[in-house]
Structure 1
Amino acid sequence: MKVVVFSDVQGNLAAMEAALEVIDNWQPDVVAMAGDLINRGPESAQCLALFNTQRQRHGWLPVNGNHETWVLRCGREAPISAIEHDMRRIADWTWQQVAAQYTALCNWPDHLCFDAPQPEHWVHITHGTLASNRDGISAVTTDESLIGKLPENIALFITGHTHKVHQRHTQGMDVVNVGSVGSPFDRDVRGSLGQFSFYGGRWHTEIVRFDYDRARTERAFYESGFLECGGPLAHLIFLEWQRADLLMGGWRRRYEPAVLAGEIDLDTSVKTYLADVL
């Protein structure tokens, strides 16, 4: 049995098409997308359409990520203040791009679980952990902090969300973070996905890193309207993609409370933060 799991495409069509080529060359039995197909990138509508085509033709399986949850919420609920309007401009712009495909986003599960050909080798796929699709696992996550956040009687737990490839064995199972197709945060600009093979009575994992046309993606950031319509945080996300490194977390810790309190405007906060860290 051969399974591919990929995550965090984040609206990067060129990267997704390169991932599709890797998948087609390997010919897996099962393909699962572990969340965050859309948002934070310039071509969410195109990525959703491509995924839906693969789902209809080849049975690809979706898992709900925090960005699917957020974009759908923005489609239902208007911002409650001018500050919230500014801070969610990216998600509102993404919703405008994908609204026509709304039904393709509906009713995605939060978790997938299946057994291997031999019994007692269950696989669990989710975007974060059992705690939340925003609760990620990376190298800095301790085993102790994962107690109660992983399912019982599982051989292989597969996750995403952090945009960082990671593997460990804990609580009697292999835990694998497949990283990000479209926006890695481990300073390696290549996309990543997980190939999982069951043979010899156990699961075997291979993380595949692949190149894609980054110049094409950079053009899409400019030509799609993402940078123009997404506001100051769109430029922060663009730099994350360029550097393959997380910047948003630092901005949130330093400036988000002050922005929400009206103590500093969003544009100034982003410019000040980037002047400090770049």
Structure 2
Amino acid sequence: MKIALLSDIHANLPAFEAVLEDLEKRQPDAVYCLGDLVGYNVWPNQVIGLVRKYGIATIAGNHDLKVSKIMPSEGDCSKEESSEYAYKLVGKKERDYLLTLPRHLRIEFQLNDQPLNMLLVHGSPRSINEYLLHDLPEQYMLELVREFKADILCFGHSHKPYHRVINSGENSIEHFHHLINTGSVGKPKDGDARACYVLITIDQTASTTTQDAVQVEFVRVKYDVEKAAKAVELSLLPNAFADNLRKAY
């Protein structure tokens, strides 16, 4: 089975459309989004519309939940630059959708008479705002996957993709856990301005006792970065957001 995971679109319509086009070519068996559909750019409603049109199962990101505190703009929007402008663009029906998204999704496989549990979160299972960075101590990550019974833990939030394998096995019995950061579709921070998402392949031989049983591929997709950056500069959003897109930091 091939599963596509994407996250942190951040209202970047050109990037999301490019990823959707790439997914159409690759034809994964399932597509999930790990949140943050909005923020930082001017197309939140269009992005949400496409997520719903394609039936992409989605969880809430921290930026999605900000719409509960920032109301839509009414009348004249000619105010000084503000990052809050990104959330004021979100329409009522889109706002209602964001505020009803689940926080986590759990997928359980039964392979070789053994369960293989995949947990999808935005930040971490403990907090939507927690950053699970690549260099966190292994012991901390082991405690996390044990607590939440996650053989494959998938998350976004930091916009920096990585795949890390850790072993929680004891007494010569190996138990491998996969930690997968999806990177960001619409606002990469790893120096590569292309949109990023993940393809995970799980075959019938997959097991927690085999380190290479889960195959992870990071897919980078070219898109019109300048179009997305110019849209920021022509809006009431801070121009720094455009620089972030061009330089991917």
Q: Is 1:169 paired with 2:165? A: yes
Q: Is 1:99 paired with 2:92? A: yes
Indicate the larger mover: 3-12 or 111-120: 111-120
Give the letter for the 2:129 counterpart. Answer: R
Shift in alpha-carbon separation, 1:191–1:122, aligned structure 2, 3 A: same
Q: Unaligned stretches of 5+ in structure 1? A: 77-84, 246-278
Q: CA RMSD in A?
A: 2.2
Identity percentage of aligned residues: 23
Q: Is 1:9 paired with 2:9? A: yes
- How far apart, in 2, do the equivalents of 1:61 and 1:100 lie? 17
Give the letter for the 1:45 counterpart. Answer: N
- Paired position in structure 2 for 1:188: 192
SS in 1 for 2:220: strand
Q: Unaligned stretches of 5+ in structure 2? A: 73-78, 169-175, 207-212
- How far apart, in 1, do the equivalents of 2:218 and 2:47 lie? 22
Aligned match for 1:149, one of 144, 165, 178: 144
- How far apart, in 2, do the equivalents of 1:117 and 1:149 lie? 22
Q: Is 1:209 paired with 2:220? A: yes
Shift in alpha-carbon separation, 1:86–1:144, aligned structure 2, 3 A: farther
- How far apart, in 2, do the equivalents of 1:142 and 1:75 lie? 40
Structure 1 position 152, deviation (Å): 4.0
Q: Is 1:109 paired with 2:102? A: yes
Give the letter for the 1:219 counterpart. Answer: K
Query: Once superposed, which parts of structure 1, at least 4 consecutive aligned residues long, lie more than 4 Å away?
Result: none
**Higher helix proportion:** 1
- Paired position in structure 1 for 2:242: 238
- Retained in 1: the 8 A contact 2:117–2:152? yes
Structure 1 position 195, deviation (Å): 0.5
Q: How many residues align?
A: 225
- Residues 189-218 of structure 1: CA distance to partner in whole angstroms, max 9, x if unpaired? 111101011113232211111111112212
Structure 1 position 93, deviation (Å): 4.1
**TM score, norm. by length of structure 1:** 0.74
Indicate the larger mover: 102-111 or 136-145: 136-145
- Paired position in structure 1 for 2:49: 49
- Residues 237-261 of structure 1: CA distance to partner in whole angstroms, max 9, x if unpaired? 222222101xxxxxxxxxxxxxxxx
- Retained in 1: the 8 A contact 2:122–2:128? yes
Structure 1 position 100, deviation (Å): 4.3
- Paired position in structure 2 for 1:23: 23
Structure 1 position 135, deviation (Å): 0.8
